[in-house]
Amino acid sequence: MASVPTEIAVLGGPPPERRDAARNRARLLDAALRLVDERGADQVTMDSVAAAACVGKGTLFRRYGSRAGLMLAVLDHSEAAWQAEVIGGPPPLGPGAPPMERLLAFGRSRLETSLRHADLIAAASGEHGRSHAAAAFTVLHVRHLLAELGVRGDLPLLATAVLAPLEASILVQQVRVDHLSEGRVLAAWSDLVRRVCRDPL
């Protein structure tokens, strides 16, 4: 038989125990993300995260399995904050601006976060890039904006194509290896987007 809950759940939210656990989890991931931003993902060890978050190293390994598992959780945590900006933050990244302005702001923001977190993306996910869930969100968003712009065609695949040059591996090659300016890369991406969105002849 199912056990009787010992606490009454708060309406509209998880029970207090789970809410505390979620808060602790977010605090730990915030601390890890700060370390990644300060030192670069390569320099962040399980020891340093454990110390910064005031938990035991054993706890970290139990929760995340491995350093790669922790890095993936940190990346997902940061992606979730970024998605919240896209869904409900101020325009032009958030709602309220015309769709082309939103799309160009999206590209600029994605370029910045991809470069900022390139090492984290590599540490988290090896050869596979970002998680599929994170990629699916960006495709959905761009597809929605392309539809608002009146683009006709295979929109999910056009969205994937428009997003592909913003992959961290490509941007790292362009900006850190080939030393192209972020401004030039962004201008070329914006040009691509305008070409994709032009009315057909």
Kindly list the residues in this chain that would bind a copy of itself in the complex (CB under 8 A). Answer: 122, 125-129, 132, 135, 153-154, 157-158, 160-161, 164-165, 167, 169-170, 173-174, 177, 180, 184-185, 187-189, 191-192, 195-196, 198-201
Write out the two tokens for 128.
């596979």
The CB-of-189 to a copy of itself minimum distance in angstroms stands at 7
Q: Smallest gap, in angstroms, from Cβ of residue 154 to a copy of itself?
A: 4
β-bridge partners, 95: 97
**Dihedral angle over CA of 192, 195, 197, 200, nearest 10:** -150
Q: Rounded to whole angstroms, how far apart are CA atoms 68 and 51?
A: 18
Is the separation of the CB atoms in 116 and 37 below 8 Å?
Answer: yes
- Distance CA(140)–CA(156), nearest Å, equals 7
- Scanning the structure block, which residue is given the tokens 């919240």? 84
Nearer of residues 147 and 161 to a copy of itself, judged by Cβ: 161
Nearest CB to a copy of itself, comparing residues 7 and 199: 199
Residue closer to a copy of itself (CB basis): 21 or 136:
136
Our CB check for a copy of itself shows the closer of 60 and 79 to be 79
